[in-house]
Amino acid sequence: VAHLIGLPLNFRRAQDAMERMLRRYRQKGYSLANIESKSFDETAGVLSIHINEGRIGRIDVQGGVRAKDSFVLREFPLQAGDVFEIDKADQGITNINSTTLFEYVYLEVTYSQHDPVLTIRLKERPSQLVRFGFRADDERNLQGSLDIRDENFQGLGTELGLNLNGGSRNKEALLEFKAHRLFTTYLTFNVSGFFSA
């Protein structure tokens, strides 16, 4: 816009300059930036342009049955008050999908009082599983296997499982608890107890 300073106001040149400004924002990933208002003070010769950079007003999570909003938002790198960046939003959707707990995840953008409202829409996969298995051989005869597992325990993305194996000659039990992310860090946590007879 600097090249217009000192020149008479020309609507087409001013419009082109504003479109170039918005293109620059979009090239840098600020895809929700828009011109909210413009006004011209004839006496002072000042053109005022107010740009809303796309500061997020609110982030909602819709469709979660067991998954807690805090667990979903932990995987999303943007927060209310941040300026929306398309690369970070894409990364957040990828992070949530990577938990493998959801059939689909997508992002909707609406506006409330000029501020963008992000809605993360998702559908959960069944996370409570029971698996059966049988095995027969000469050494241990017939053996059974039972695995009972909740891959989204308490809706926090943690995993609790009990695995029972055995037959007439042997018995084994394994109880395990896993956190694929410990709080907001990238550390994992795993504790297990084992019984064999």
The residue assigned the tokens 């053996």 is 143
Place of tokens 């059966």: 132
Q: 110, 52 in Cβ contact below 8 A?
A: no
pLDDT at 49 over 80: yes
In this prediction, residues 87-110 reach a mean pLDDT of 94
Share above pLDDT 90 across residues of the chain, in percent, rounded to a whole number: 47
pLDDT of residue 147: 94
Q: Are 143 and 165 in contact (CB under 8 A)?
A: yes
Specify the 3-state DSSP secondary structure of 139.
coil
User: Chain centroid to CA 75: how far?
Assistant: 5
CB atoms within 10 A of CB 124: 16
